[in-house]
Chain A
Amino acid sequence: MTVFVIRRLLQAALVMIIMSLLVFGGVFLVGDPVEMLVADDADQAERQAIIKSMGLDLPFYMQYLRFIGNALQGDMGNSFVFQEPAMELILERMPATFELAIAALLIAVVIGIPLGIYAGLKADSWMSKTIMTASILGFSVPTFWVGIMMILFFAVILGWLPSTGRGDTVELFGIPVSFLTLDGLQHLILPAVNLALFKLSMVIRLARAGTREVVHQDYIKFARAKGLSTGRIIGVHLFKNIMIPVVTVLGLEFGGLIAFSVVTETVFAWPGMGKLLIDSIGFLDRPVIVAYLLFVVGLFVFINLVVDVLYSVLDPRVRLQEVKS
């Protein structure tokens, strides 16, 4: 197990190095930040001074090394717009994004797994067909459009739920969260459902496919031959087996959820990292963009690692192989 984790950590470091090169290189090519930084009426000398102080006159590889050197010390540069460290800006907004993503994940799992199991067990019923059709819609209709429709329907026409912002927050272990206040919870519902729809469709399909495969296995029939109740057969024997692919994919997709929240956060003006990214792109706020991208890549890598470990906990067969290797 330790060997396995160390090997994965080395792979993760390699991925981070490659990604930092790509991200930094990409942003380097995109635009010249100098225009952003110098005042309109600055003269040539002031201009040169700023370029020099930022190290923008150095060749690409020098700039990159400088950036990496600072980054390793936790310094991703200051935001051009806010004049604050970029990393701090991101971390400040992280709880909002995480809250949204976790709420979406919960919705996807709590609703998706029972629906998927049902659709797998009763494949021919009209209910199952309705569920599957809805899941295709969930896959194919764009998130932003659904978000706008949700606002139109639930916020504008019915006036049931608020459509922008986080609402009231309270501190939980020093982190501001919305879901513990009624107002915050109401604010959370629409964006969380919006972000969940895609994953919900996926969970339904995974659970259904898993159920259809597992339900025909001999061990399910044997469980029935033991006289177990249907509840136990579905809730333990079937559930545990279909959870292996569901957890793997969901874990891997959690990073995707955070990346996708860019759209949802923008539509619902949810003050998270995704909205910060879109705003920063608008202002060509290079340090924030780079910091965000690297942060999300790091998150992906970390999540992959956690999923691998979790997977081996869920599936005893994997566990054994690792002990051997």
Chain B
Amino acid sequence: MSDQATLEVRNLQTHFFTKAGVVKAVNDVSFSVGKGKILGLVGESGSGKTVTGFSILGLVDEPGRVVGGEILYRGENLVGASQERMRQLRGNNVAMIFQDPMMTLNPVLRIDTQMIEAIKAHHKVTDDEARQRARDALGQVGIPSPDERLKSYPHQFSGGMRQRVAIAIALLNKPDLIVADEPTTALDVTIQGQILYEVQKLCAETGTAMIWITHDLSVVAGLADEVAVMYAGRVVEAGKVDDVLDAPMHPYTAGLIGSVPSRNARGKRLHQIPGMTPSLLNLPEGCAFAARCNYATAACEQPPALENAAGARQIRCHHPLVAEAV
């Protein structure tokens, strides 16, 4: 990647200072996304994907705080940026689609209000222009009769429709970067396919970079250019989608993909790895995956670092798996 990445996250650490102790929800996460590229951010529940997304937008609330690392948006470090600077970027340059579509829209405001305000927060346009753009955005995500729908309230939409509205809101100001937190989980398969197609097209056409957070490796396989696999707040493996999925080097990634490390697993949900994620309050000294890892040795009591491997791969393991010749 010769030109500057749209977003580069370096050694991000976001911790929650709770009464029970410090929850290290994000504990050394690094990745980057280039213009028009899609990065899949994959991991089990609780691995810190959503907190990573919130950190990028500066939306981590008390008792949480970004305690380390850098978030470089086109070279500008957003860690420690002023409130007003973050507000200007949010929704205009960097947009986010939330995980739970039922809760993201304000129940007492009409859809048009919620869309028009998102435009007017950043651009001096008339109400009519803003409404026109809102209508176009609804059309773009495949909502029929957008004119009528603009006048509806959120409860008049199904979950899938609401998520499409949320996606439309994210698209409104043509951001450079969209953080999409499991946006299609609530949608049925056909619509999911349609939205994925639209998103891919959009990124290619407008050069929008996208971070696509998901549990579902099969979605990543079809959609993303690169993938970063998270475990217990850390990126454990990253690289080109095909490379990682065809030949996982980290035992955790291999476990996620299951016994068939190929893209024939399309449509299959994440394979369950026996054992439990360690408590983020009390992470082990060494490799966080050791308790569940078949390859663990005494060396794994030392924390492995994220190291570069051949082919723009990164891997955090003392005993990386050797790609088997297929």
Do A and B interact? yes
Interface residues, chain A, with chain B CB atoms under 8 Å away: 217-219, 221-229, 232, 236-237, 240-241, 244, 314-317, 320
- The answer to whether B121 and A241 have CB atoms under 8 Å apart is no
Partner of B87, one of A221, A222, A229, A244: A229
- The answer to whether B107 and A222 have CB atoms under 8 Å apart is no
User: Chain A residues with Cβ under 8 A from B59's Cβ?
Assistant: 221, 224-225
Listed from nearest, the 10 A-B pairs whose CB atoms lie closest are A227-B91, A218-B103, A226-B91, A227-B90, A226-B118, A316-B153, A219-B106, A222-B104, A240-B108, A225-B96
CB distance from B150 to the nearest CB of A (A): 14
B211 within 8 A of A: no
Residue of B nearest to A124 (CB): B62
- The answer to whether B90 and A225 have CB atoms under 8 Å apart is yes
If A218-B100, A219-B106, A236-B109 touch, whether A224 touches B90 (CB-CB below 8 Å) is yes
- The answer to whether B107 and A219 have CB atoms under 8 Å apart is yes
If A221-B98, A316-B155, A320-B156 touch, whether A227 touches B106 (CB-CB below 8 Å) is no
Partner of B98, one of A225, A229, A317: A225
- The answer to whether B121 and A226 have CB atoms under 8 Å apart is yes
> In the complex the two chains form, what is the Cα distance from A320 to B121 in whole Å?
30
If A225-B57, A227-B122, A232-B117 touch, whether A241 touches B107 (CB-CB below 8 Å) is yes
Residue with the highest number of chain A CB atoms closer than 10 Å, among B61, B106, B109: B106
Interface 1/0 per residue, B166-177 and A, CB below 8 Å: 100100000000
- The answer to whether B108 and A315 have CB atoms under 8 Å apart is yes
> In the complex the two chains form, what is the Cα distance from A19 to B262 in whole Å?
77
User: Chain B residues with Cβ under 8 A from A236's Cβ?
Assistant: 109, 117
User: Chain A residues with Cβ under 8 A from B156's Cβ?
Assistant: 320
Q: List 24 A-B contacts (CB under 8 A).
A: A218-B98, A219-B107, A221-B59, A221-B61, A223-B106, A224-B90, A225-B98, A226-B95, A226-B117, A226-B169, A227-B91, A227-B92, A229-B87, A236-B109, A237-B106, A237-B109, A240-B106, A240-B108, A241-B106, A241-B107, A315-B108, A316-B107, A316-B155, A317-B153
If A240-B108, A240-B109, A316-B108 touch, whether A217 touches B103 (CB-CB below 8 Å) is yes
Interface 1/0 per residue, B112-145 and A, CB below 8 Å: 0000011001100000000000000000000000
- SS class of chain A's interface: helix, strand, loop or mixed? helix
User: Chain A residues with Cβ under 8 A from B104's Cβ?
Assistant: 218-219, 222
Give the A-B contact count at a CB cut-off of 8 A: 77
If A218-B100, A224-B59, A320-B155 touch, whether A229 touches B121 (CB-CB below 8 Å) is yes
> In the complex the two chains form, what is the Cα distance from A320 to B105 in whole Å?
17
B196 within 8 A of A: no
CB distance from A207 to the nearest CB of B (A): 16
Residue with the highest number of chain B CB atoms closer than 10 Å, among A222, A241, A244, A317: A222
- The answer to whether A222 and B105 have CB atoms under 8 Å apart is yes
> In the complex the two chains form, what is the Cα distance from A236 to B107 in whole Å?
12
CB distance from B107 to the nearest CB of A (A): 6
User: Chain B residues with Cβ under 8 A from A227's Cβ?
Assistant: 87-92, 118, 121-122
Interface 1/0 per residue, B70-108 and A, CB below 8 Å: 000000000000000001111110011010100111111
- The answer to whether B117 and A222 have CB atoms under 8 Å apart is no
Residue of A nearest to B179 (CB): A225
CB distance from B275 to the nearest CB of A (A): 31
Residue of B nearest to A220 (CB): B106
User: Chain B residues with Cβ under 8 A from A241's Cβ?
Assistant: 106-108
> In the complex the two chains form, what is the Cα distance from A320 to B156 in whole Å?
9
User: Chain B residues with Cβ under 8 A from A232's Cβ?
Assistant: 117, 121
Residue of B nearest to A321 (CB): B155
Q: Assuming A225-B57, A228-B87, what are 16 further A-B pairs, CB within 8 angstroms?
A: A218-B98, A218-B103, A218-B104, A222-B105, A223-B106, A225-B95, A226-B95, A227-B87, A227-B91, A228-B91, A229-B121, A232-B117, A236-B117, A240-B108, A241-B106, A317-B155
CB distance from A121 to the nearest CB of B (A): 12
CB distance from A236 to the nearest CB of B (A): 7
> In the complex the two chains form, what is the Cα distance from A224 to B118 in whole Å?
10
> In the complex the two chains form, what is the Cα distance from A283 to B88 in whole Å?
70
Interface 1/0 per residue, B41-82 and A, CB below 8 Å: 000000000000000010101000000000000000000000
User: Chain B residues with Cβ under 8 A from A244's Cβ?
Assistant: 108
User: Chain B residues with Cβ under 8 A from A217's Cβ?
Assistant: 103
Residue with the highest number of chain A CB atoms closer than 10 Å, among B61, B107, B156: B107
User: Chain A residues with Cβ under 8 A from B88's Cβ?
Assistant: 227
CB distance from A317 to the nearest CB of B (A): 5
Partner of A225, one of B91, B107, B117, B153: B91
